[in-house]
Structures are given as structure tokens and as C-alpha cells.
Chains A and B, each alone.
Chain A
Amino acid sequence: MGLVLWIAPLIAVALSQFAKKARTLHAISIGVSLVMLVLAGYCTHAVMVAGELTYTIFNGLFLIDSLSIIILDIVTVIYFLTSIYAIGYLQEEVRHGKISSEKLRLYYMLMYVFLFAMVVALTVSNIGIIWVAIEATTLASAFLVGFQNDHNSLEAAWKYIIICSVGIAITLVGIIFLHLSSVDVIQSGDALKWNVLLSEAKHLDEPVLRFAFIFILIGFGTKAGLAPMHTWLPDAHSQAPSPISALLSGVLLNSAMYAIIRCLTIVNKNSGDSQFAGRLMIGFGLLSVLTAAIFILSQKDYKRLLAYSSIEHMGIIALAMGLFTPLSIFAGLLHMMNHSLTKSMLFLASGNILQKYNAREISKIQGLLKTLPITGTVFLLGLLAISGTPPFSIFGSEVNVFISVFNADQAGLGIVLILLLAIIFAGIAATLFRVFFGSADAGQVQPGETNLPGALAICVLLIAIVVTGLYLPDGLKDLFIAARQIVLGG
């Protein structure tokens, strides 16, 4: 049953080959995302009952546990809402003649391949295959980033594919050394499986493993958008079509972070504490927050601003994981979910704004609340949420990260972190809040929502972040606690 997760996107690729009308293409997309959602629900149930879900086929290659199911659920939920949004978005683009119906097919096919690669990365037990899948996500999304095929998007796509491919190649070096550290301990049939590596972690060759982790962190960190390897991220996220930006930011960054967490767990269990790996993670995390703070303050393009904010939040997650206390891991995992939901909501809303105003510069947007009442409201609340204001969910996980930092006797780190987040809040408020005021040029923009399914999708996301900000359901909490236990070493 779980294996259908792999097959469904591939069937969708085949089906869209034969679809003649745009309507059919949209229907296939909704169908697939619904199927994925149901399957993820089934897998979640199985994992909650049994702890993990695996099949004997392919020598146990398919394996999900509480950690992977959390990320997988985020992927499927956001993918579902994005595909609802994409219908309205793409129809609008076709109406304005920005994309032809043939490119519509290409868009959907690449998106399915992208989804397939991401799901594979989250459901396989072999770290080598995780690598292959994450590289495949780069390749599938490269054309999506350059979809508009103008100067800027082509530049973004080229930077994206080159920087991420090189980063991922560096990871491969790390994986080779990971393999080397385990080659005397683990039989070749089980080589590179994270569950086996984790259970044998104490016997791995420590110096080689540490060497491997540096490469893995730098490589997957490139893909996860950690500074100073983040340079592709603002370009790619701002130039891609908005549904793709939402997927890149809300889903892809998490998949790369997931791979880092898997390796972090192994390294920390091997050395017994988080001195070595934790310091690296905290360093990269803090640097990411700092970089984001600097660039947000002087940002002129709202999609780029959101992209820098993704770097900031990935930095917070890396920092929380690096601290490696039970509370910080819980908060970090929660933050992954909260950030994904909030950030994809913001990117989807920014897509509506971009289509309405046809401008990327903050200075050209005025009177947003009047021209786009629903999107504008969601965007305003989303900006408050992403900068960590209660009652939204990001506030909860950020506060937990702060508490865990201070509990770990890292007061200096905590103070710096809070200061940087305050700067980011001020930066967002100073640069972006002006879009809500003023009145729109009557001749330029017609008031009114153009993308009604999209407005629905972002409202659902808004409700989700408000609800999880106030109250975390017990089932979800148990899942996060189980995942925390896995990260702590089982």
C-alpha cells in the first residue's frame, strides 16, 4: 500500500502525456495529490500503531518511521493545497498568454517527477538512494525555476542547478566516507541503511565518520539553504512560479534538512554527545540567521524577502537540532512544520499579488488590502506569523527554541539569536508593511481576487497555523515525541 506513494506520481506523468485539454491536466493533478494525501494518512496511521512501516520487497528499501512520516505529511498536505492553488494561478497565466498549453503539460510533468523524487527521499532506508533522490529533485525543479524563460529566471535556474549539483556532489563524498566508516561492521547487503547504521552506530569508525559528516552537512546544507551556501536560494525562490516557490520553500528545504538530521543522529550516537556535530550545526544555523537578517533589512523585492526568511528559519531549525536536547529537538521538528505551512502560504499569497500588480518590487505595491481583500489579509497575518508573533504557531516553536537554548546554559547564544530575530521583525515591518497602506492606482489594477481556489487554499493554511499555534492535537504531539526519540538515538 505504501509503495503506491512511489507509483502514483509516475502514473500521473504517463497520464498527462495523453491529456488533451487543460481541464484534464488540472483534474489529474488534483486526483494525484488527493491520492497522495490519503496514502500519507494511511501511512501515518500505520506508523502511529506500529512505530514504523516497512515492506520486505526490495530488501526493506521502503521504510518510514515517525520522523519521516512527519516530513512526508507536510509534503503531501502542502502539495495538495498547492495543486488547488495552481489551477487558478495557471489559468490566469494562460489567459494572459504567459504560458502555452503545451508548457502547462511540461509544468505538470516536471512537478510530478519533483514530487516523486521528494517522496522517494523521505521513504527509503538507504542513504545513497536518499542522495540520488535529492539530486533528482534539483534536476526536476531546475526547469521549473527557469519556467518563465526570461533573462532573470534563466540566470536563477543556472545558478540553482550548478550550485546545488556541486553541493550535492560534495555530499556524495561524505556518503562515501560514511560507507567507509561502516564497511567493517555492516554486511554489504545492509550497506548505507540508516536504520542499520543507527543501531551499529557505536561500532563505526569515529574519525572517518566525523570527516564524512562535515561533507554531508555542507552538501545537504546547500540544498537546505544554510548560509554561506545559500546563494542560489533567493534567486531560485523568487524567480520560480509561485506554486513552485511554495513547494521549494515549504517542502524541499525540509527534505534536505531531514537528510541532515538522519546523519546527525548517527554521528551523535557514535560519539555519545553532540559536541562535534552540534557545534557545526549551531554555527551554520546562527550564520544563516545573521545573513538573513542583513539581507532582509535592505530588501526591495518581496519574493526575495520571503526567500531570505526561509534561510532564517532553516537556520533556526539547524541551531535547534545542533543543541540536541530533548526540548530543542521537539521545538526544531515543530518549527519545520510551522515554517512550511506559514511560508508556503506566504509564497502562494505573493503569487496572487504578483499576478495582480505584475511587479516584484515592494515600492510598486500599494493598497493591497483594498485590491486583494482576502490575499491581502492573509499576507498581512502571514507576515506577522513568520516574524514570530502570537498566536500563530511559529511563535510557539520559536519560544521553545529560546527556552531550550537558555536551558542548555547558552545564554550568549540565546541573546544573539533573540536580537537577530528582533532585527528581522523590524526589517519585515519596515520594508513590507507599507504595501498595505495607500491606495492603488485606479487605472493600473482592478480590485478583486482573480484566483478563488487559491484564496481558499491560503485560507486553509491560515486556519491551520492559527489552530496549531493555540493547540497541538494529542495524536500529532505523540508523533512529534516519537520522532524526537528517534533523533535522540532510539
Chain B
Amino acid sequence: MEHYLDLLSVLMLLSAIMLVSHKRIRSYIRTFRLQAILIAVIAGFMGFESLMTEGSIDILVICVIIIALKVVIIPMLLHKTFANVEDVVEKDFYLNIPILILMSCVLVVFSYFTLSGISGLASGHVNLQVVNAFSVILIGFFFMISRKKAIGQIIGYLVMENGIFVTAIFSTHGMPFIVDIGIFIDMITAVLIMGVMVVQINEKFDSININNLRNLRG
């Protein structure tokens, strides 16, 4: 059981690094969906375990919501948004990809040392999984700031959210149920609103390159 979870958390980390290496928006969305499937599997495992030991179905319900939301609905919304904006293939990142991947690895090492410095965390048996999940948060954040296009920022935000969810489920077996539901509602609303805004930005600025958004300063 533990081995499977270890494996899944490592796969999740790899999917985040894979995301950093992509060049096109379509492949961002595809990798995001892959990561969502991995999360659903993790939640399924944990949910099954908690059903067997404690008899609670909370995590399994969450797993179903993840499949509906992150595997199906959100990628669909993103595809729709992307279809509405003009598709110009141009260099979408500030540094080149090998450097980006190297820096992602540095982030993993960084989160390993940060988390193992905290005595309460290092004692738990979930340590490695939490490190991986926490790295996904950092890589998502890094992905956001390394891309120029607005959709890249949305994906980065979603990857952060994925990492946070997995951190929660590995370290505390999930947040209280009602909080999790609230988080999902917020997330889907956020993606909807950001999607609408991307289309508006595309109309006003003729591109979704956020480098154009620099009128307001000082």
C-alpha cells in the first residue's frame, strides 16, 4: 500500500516536471489531465483505505468529484477558452527548457530540506510523499512565473492547487469534508472567471501575452 502511494507521489512530481518541459498550450492541458488522473487514483487509494479502516466514504466522494471536475470539466473549459483565443505559436517562456527543468529539481531539493528541518513533520511515515506533494506546489508556482501567456498562468494555479490537495491528503488524510467541498466550488469558479477574462484580454489586447499588461505602474 505504502509503496503504491510512494510510486504515485513520485509520478505526480514527474508529471509536474513534464509540464514545465512543454512548449504548447495543448500539451499543458493534456499533462494537467494526466496529473488529475494520478490525483484521483491517490484519492481513490486513500479513500478505499479509510473506508476499510474507519468506514467513512468522505475521501471516496472527493475522489469522484476530482474525476468529474479536474479530469473532465476543467480541461474541457480550458480547451474551450483556448479555442476562443487566437493561436500563435511563439516562445512562451523566459528561460530555456533545460534550465527550467534544472530549477524544478532545485525546488524539489529545497522542499526536501525545508520540510525535514521541521521536527513535527519529519517524524511521520508520510514524509517522502509530503515532500513530493509540496514540490508540486512550488513547481506549479514556478511554472506560473515562467510563462508569458495567460493560460499558462491558469494551469500553473491549478497545478499548485493539485499539489495543495495532495499535501493535505498525505499529511492529514484530507481537510474536513465541508472545507474540501468549498475549495472545489471556489476552484471551478476561479477557472470559469479566469477563462472569461482570458477571452476579454484577447479581445482588448489582441493577444494573451501578459507582457502587454503593463500600463499600470508606480
Contacts and interface: CB of A to CB of B under 8 A. Distances in A.
Interface string B6-45: 0000000000000000000000000000000000000000
B120 A142 contact: no
Contacts of A132: 179, 182-183, 185-186
Interface string A145-176: 01001111011111101100110010011011
Contact of B172 (A154, A157, A179, A234): A179
Nearest to B145: A166
Contacts of A179: 168, 172, 175
Contacts of A169: 137, 157, 160-161, 164
A180 B182 contact: no
Interface stretch (B68-76, B92-100, B196-204): B196-204
Contacts of B190: 135, 139, 161, 165
A468 B194 CA distance: 42
B194 A155 contact: no
A449 interface: no
Interface stretch (B80-88, B102-110, B208-216): B208-216
B193 A139 contact: yes
A188 interface: yes
A298 B217 CA distance: 12
Interface stretch (A203-211, A247-255, A324-332, A339-347): A203-211
B186 A135 contact: yes
Given A132-B186, A143-B193, A176 B171 contact: yes
A299 to B, nearest CB: 7
Contacts of B179: 126, 128-129, 131-132, 192
Contacts, number: 124
Contacts of B144: 162, 166
Contact of B194 (A150, A161, A177): A161
B167 A142 contact: no
Contacts of B161: 169
Interface residues of A, number: 52
A146 B200 CA distance: 10
Given A151-B204, A239-B216, A298-B218, A176 B193 contact: no
A156 B216 contact: yes
Nearest to A181: B120
Contacts of A298: 218
B150 interface: yes
Nearest to B198: A158
A180 B171 contact: yes
A132 B178 CA distance: 10
A422 interface: no
Contacts of A300: 218
B55 interface: no
B119 A155 contact: no
Contact of B193 (A142, A206, A238): A142
Interface residues of B, number: 41
A235 interface: yes
Contacts of A299: 218
B112 interface: no
Nearest to A139: B189
Contacts of A146: 197, 200
B213 A157 contact: no
A192 B182 contact: no
A159 B153 contact: no
A188 B160 CA distance: 26
Contact of B183 (A172, A206, A234, A235): A172
A208 B210 contact: no
Nearest to B181: A132
A357 interface: no
A183 interface: yes
A136 interface: yes
Interface in A224-240: 234-235, 238-239
B191 to A, nearest CB: 10
B118 A159 contact: no
A150 B213 CA distance: 12
B147 to A, nearest CB: 12
Nearest to B169: A176
Contact of B197 (A152, A158, A206): A158
Contacts of B153: 162
27 contacts: A126-B179, A131-B182, A131-B183, A135-B186, A143-B193, A151-B204, A151-B205, A155-B215, A158-B150, A158-B197, A161-B194, A165-B190, A166-B160, A169-B164, A173-B134, A176-B168, A177-B171, A179-B168, A183-B172, A188-B176, A191-B176, A192-B175, A192-B176, A207-B120, A234-B216, A299-B218, A304-B218
Interface of A: 126, 128-129, 131-132, 135-136, 139, 142-143, 146, 149-152, 154-159, 161-162, 165-166, 169, 172-173, 175-177, 179-181, 183, 188, 191-192, 205-208, 211, 234-235, 238-239, 295, 298-300, 304
